[in-house]
Every structure is written in structure tokens, then in C-alpha cells.
Amino acid sequence: MTALLEIDDLHFAWPDGTQALRGVSLTLEEGRSLGLIGPNGAGKSTLLLHLNGILHGSGTVRVRGTPVEDWPADDLRATVGLVFEDPADQLFMPTALEDVCFGPLNLGLSSEEARARAMAVLEAAGAAHLAERPPHHLSAGQMRRVALATVLAMEPELLVIDEPVMALDPEGREAIIGLLSALPQSRIIASHDLEMVLQLCDQVAILDEGRIHATGPVRKILSDEDLLRAHGLRVPGSLSES
């Protein structure tokens, strides 16, 4: 299968010298979904910020065979859609509709085309009724739907999503999982919710202390109790009961 994303020996340190990534290498093939798991402070969010050029470390990140630094920024961010851990970091316009229109307008769509696309993705995200609402007056689950819609409106090939169900109630969690499961894009999902990873991903990578410690099929990795415990994780209940 064709490699959509290739990460080779990626290192990154913050300005204070903290080493966040220590030689990360990963490949995601087209049509696959990868769960990125690990304890707090493992480097998951830092890694995701490299995938569409927000951060740049040493090593190589290639999308469709081209290093991210060689992509025009707008083209890269239209190809690799990143949904931040905190949706408030993604929403900044007066209304949800304007937030979702922002990306398509930057791609050169007319106002009418951008509005039509924005309403279509808001509808798909179950958020059409929120179109005229100020984003920061929305609930956590509503904000996550709108933030996801802002990325889907760019029609990316790869969705990169950081903690999509964090702090949601059970109904909101179920709704977001249902929405993500219906999307056709390849996905990388960073999460502590291993039940969700089991539902949405076919592969898993364990990241801890800035290094990849294991990769493999989702059920194989998530049923390995010793491996998970070594990295502060636990086997999901649905697997431990089976």
C-alpha cells in the first residue's frame, strides 16, 4: 500500500532544553487509522504538531513522499487536517459558520461555495443548528463538533485528532465516535481512551518518553497487559473481559 505519512528519526527539544521526541519513526499507509497512545507527557501532542508543519524538529516528516517543509503551508494544512486537543484553540471567529468557512475561503472558494461547504460539513458533524452561535458559548461536545467541521471543510486526506473525546459525557463521547467512524479519511488519533482507539483504529503505536516502544494491530497491542502496564496503560475492559 502507498505510504501517506512517513516519519523518520524525528527529534524535538523545547527552548528550555526539554527533549520531547527522541528519534520517532512511523509510517501510515493510505486508508489506515492509527491510535497514538501513551502516558501524559509522552510527546503525543508534540508529535502531532509536526505533521502539518506547526513544529519542526530534526529528522524527516514526509506527506505523500514530500518533506513537510517543502509543501506550501496552505496546501499542507489542507492535506493534513489537525484537530487540537482544546477546541477553543481552533475557534476564533464570531460564529461557528464563519469559523468553518475560514479555511475554504483561504483555499480560494467564493463566499457562496465556502458557505455551502461549511453548512454541509456542519450538517455531517451534527452541528448545523449551531451555525450562528458564538463558538465560545458552546458546550465542550458542541465545540469539538465545530472544530472537527473546520478541518473537514478543508477536505483533508489525513485527519490528525488530539484527544477527541476528552471531558465529554457518555452521550457526547458516543456521538463523536460515531461521527469519526463514518469518515473516509485516514486518521491518526492520540488518546487515553483505549476503548475508543479499539473502535476507531486498526493500528496502534505506544509513545513514551519521546520514543516509540511498540507498533502493531490494535487488538494485539491493546490486549498485551505487560506491555501496556510498562507504559502506564491498562487493557481496555472490553478486551480483558473477552
Number of H helices, E strands in the chain: 10, 10
Cα Rg of the chain (Å, integer)? 18
Report the CATH number that the domain containing residue 215 is assigned in CATH. 3.40.50.300
Distance of CA 185 to CAs 23, 34, 45, 60, 241, Å?
Answer: 27, 12, 20, 23, 31
The kind and range of the H/E element at 208 are strand 203-208
Question: What angle in degrees, to the nearest 10, is found between the helix axes of 96-106 and 140-152?
Answer: 20
Domains: count for the chain: 1
Q: Which residues of 176-215 are buried (b: 16+ CB within 10 A; e: fewer)?
A: bbebbeeeebbbbbbbbbbbbbbbbbebbbbbbebebebb
Domain that holds residue 104: 3-240
Phi, psi of 121 (to 5 degrees): -75, -35
Total Cβ atoms within 10 A of residue 105 = 17
pTM beyond 0.85 = yes
pLDDT tens-place values along the chain, 242 residues long: 689 999 999 999 999 999 999 999 999 999 999 999 999 999 999 999 999 999 999 999 999 999 999 999 889 988 999 999 999 999 999 999 999 999 999 989 999 999 999 999 999 888 999 999 999 999 988 999 999 999 999 999 999 999 998 878 888 888 889 989 999 999 999 999 999 999 999 999 999 999 999 999 999 999 999 999 999 999 998 997 65
